[in-house]
Structure 1
């Protein structure tokens, strides 16, 4: 029996509103929110409401969209389609949790998973519900949707034949969004907070700057007896559920230190260098345990040590990224990508990040925000002592070096803006780690790279 338009509307009205703690779906206002297409399919106009929940529920945003709900063949199997719709409505809280609980960046279409109707052998409401409540199944659907959208974009750009190659370069990244009210202005820059002795933030939270939280009895990290400046700490539990977080430990605290003055990056004659034993002056340490039980470290007695203004991380946002245009990742796709028309088309419109590029850009994983030079190539060269002949990227030796450089991963990027946090002329500090060391959790093998204007 085929489901009529009227029967579908009655079914949806019985199910809606439906949703989770921070959102719900409703049928749109007006006559006939459910309509038929010329091919016999069904479209529905729906509202997606997102809520603030500070004791009471307040509407934060409303989005309306027309969604293609069913095709003619799916309507013809009334019992199966009804089971699918009922299970989907019941599972909306689980679908919302898959997206992190809040839906500010989503449209109504993103909450519909018609892929379940393509699963052979699934007919009963309980079977559909099991799919919708499976985080693995939802993630697989979202990855395929992302791949399809990317392929469509590449075809539009005229480089569709390279879509799979380019898609293979996309990586998840996690943005650290700090409390904007804590920004310091140009006359009160972060690097001038050298007399900071206290940090009133709760112990064990994610933050940039301030004083680190260490397990009891653990000393402030040093290189050759020089205390390192504390740059950031991440409470790893805050990252759960975000794409890319699986590359990091799932608990404890990850702390980042670096040689802000470059005191250790000089040879015996006082000449600037990048000694491998210092790894660019960077130090990353992972401590297991409950960060709330750690102890706020006291500032070492070293007048040259910089203690930066503390910025509290308000939230972590997921994003997907392509590599910077001048990075070696494109070199390994093509013998001469920068000389080929397809790459020219792609590079003219491609964005390094799908997020708002407004600074500051603090991020875990993904790719660097390009400034000048190539940190991936630098990390590989400094760690191996290899030279690289300038613009010659086509020789066999040079291409092998470029290929090896792509095995380095961004672990953390800290921006100096606003307030010139790093005192380095509006630049970035990158913690990079080889993919093998990241997989083995060998954070003591990171390299620090500073880039500035």
Structure 2
């Protein structure tokens, strides 16, 4: 029995109508959260240190502009999360220059300052040598070293609900979501059941895979940025036109949240930048990690 089946069975046992359980389950996601664990916990990867790159592959970004290594995960060691089609083996390496990526700001295309590199199982790899002159490579606005100390990661599966359920606030959501909130008559019971089945861990996550995206700071979140471009610069000259534009925007955001999943979300070594890599669910299942889009966020 997977987690969705477990949840549905427990909800039906409490006499919550099946159609309501199904609607709620469509909003429930399971994510993999990882933190810097103790030596007693199974290691699923690392933050910082040096990456293991395929033999003959140069450091992402090249010698001219090498990208800082965020960390890597061993996909075979990760716990499985329903609905998150990560590879069953191999490793996933994350690289990001947060300052340059924030300036690049390319919501519909790849960024040269962010990379998710998948290394299939069985690939000949070696610990990469640091790029030349890396000791003098720091970020422009903050004195952050290029290389950061290695820390081991342990992981667990965490249920995640969208913000509008957690906060019971649909003011800026789509009409579809507003209608759904009206239909979820047992919402408090369903949320409580999630907490009972999977109690929250008393630790913070340094790296999140899957779930829902966090919107940090004052800028538009990734889905809003993509949705705004997708619907185009439609006329907004009157109140009616503006209302219709925002209606379309919220519906497009809802659609994109269904299709795109956070591949990785993480704090950078900076106090004011947060990394967010998104990937289309179909691309994730097909291991097309070059299709990943990066949305570095400024936390202030």
Provide the rounded CA distance (Å) in 2 between the counterparts of 1:333 and 1:154: 28
Q: TM-score, normalised by structure 1?
A: 0.49
Shift of 1:393: 8.2
Structure 1 154/274 Cα, relative in aligned 2: closer, same or farther at 3 Å? farther
Q: 2:10 is matched with which residue?
A: 149
Provide the rounded CA distance (Å) in 1 between the counterparts of 2:244 and 2:204: 31
Structure 2: any 5+ residue segments left out of the alignment? 140-145, 237-241
1:169 equivalent to 2:44? Answer no
Greater relative contact order structure (CA < 8 Å, 6+ sep): 2
Shift of 1:371: 4.1
Q: 2:293 is matched with which residue?
A: 447
Whether the 8 Å CA contact 1:151–1:164 is kept in 2: the answer is: no
Shift of 1:400: 3.9
Residue pairs, 1:37-436, within 5 angstroms: 139=1, 143-150=4-11, 155=16, 162-179=20-37, 206-222=45-61, 225-239=64-78, 242-244=80-82, 247-262=85-100, 265-266=103-104, 273-274=105-106, 276-279=108-111, 281-290=113-122, 293-302=125-134, 303-304=137-138, 306-313=146-153, 315-325=154-164, 331=173, 334=176, 336-337=178-179, 340=182, 346=188, 354-356=199-201, 358-369=203-214, 371=216, 375-378=221-224, 380-381=226-227, 384=230, 386=232, 397-406=248-257, 407-414=259-266, 416=267, 421-425=268-272, 428-436=274-282
Structure 1: any 5+ residue segments left out of the alignment? 1-138, 182-203, 267-272
Provide the rounded CA distance (Å) in 2 between the counterparts of 1:162 and 1:256: 39
- Determine helix, strand or coil for the equivalent of 1:411: strand
Shift of 1:432: 0.8
Whether the 8 Å CA contact 1:173–1:243 is kept in 2: the answer is: yes
Provide the rounded CA distance (Å) in 2 between the counterparts of 1:382 and 1:424: 28
* TM-superposition CA deviations, 1:155-205 (whole Å, max 9, x none): 5xxx98633211122222112131369xxxxxxxxxxxxxxxxxxxxxx97
Structure 1 160/317 Cα, relative in aligned 2: closer, same or farther at 3 Å? same
Structure 1 244/230 Cα, relative in aligned 2: closer, same or farther at 3 Å? farther
Whether the 8 Å CA contact 1:213–1:296 is kept in 2: the answer is: yes
Whether the 8 Å CA contact 1:231–1:258 is kept in 2: the answer is: yes
Shift of 1:247: 0.9
Provide the rounded CA distance (Å) in 1 between the counterparts of 2:61 and 2:28: 36
Provide the rounded CA distance (Å) in 2 between the counterparts of 1:223 and 1:374: 31
Aligned length: 273
* TM-superposition CA deviations, 1:345-399 (whole Å, max 9, x none): 649967898523642342222223554566441462487585699x958855224
Provide the rounded CA distance (Å) in 2 between the counterparts of 1:152 and 1:371: 38
* TM-superposition CA deviations, 1:247-280 (whole Å, max 9, x none): 12222221111122226835xxxxxx43755438
Q: 1:60 is matched with which residue?
A: none
Structure 1 261/146 Cα, relative in aligned 2: closer, same or farther at 3 Å? same
- Determine helix, strand or coil for the equivalent of 2:162: coil
Whether the 8 Å CA contact 2:46–2:72 is kept in 1: the answer is: yes
Whether the 8 Å CA contact 2:174–2:251 is kept in 1: the answer is: no
Structure 1 363/205 Cα, relative in aligned 2: closer, same or farther at 3 Å? closer
Kindly name which structure, 1 or 2, has the bigger radius of gyration based on alpha carbons: 1
- Determine helix, strand or coil for the equivalent of 2:205: coil
Provide the rounded CA distance (Å) in 1 between the counterparts of 2:112 and 2:179: 31
- Determine helix, strand or coil for the equivalent of 2:176: coil
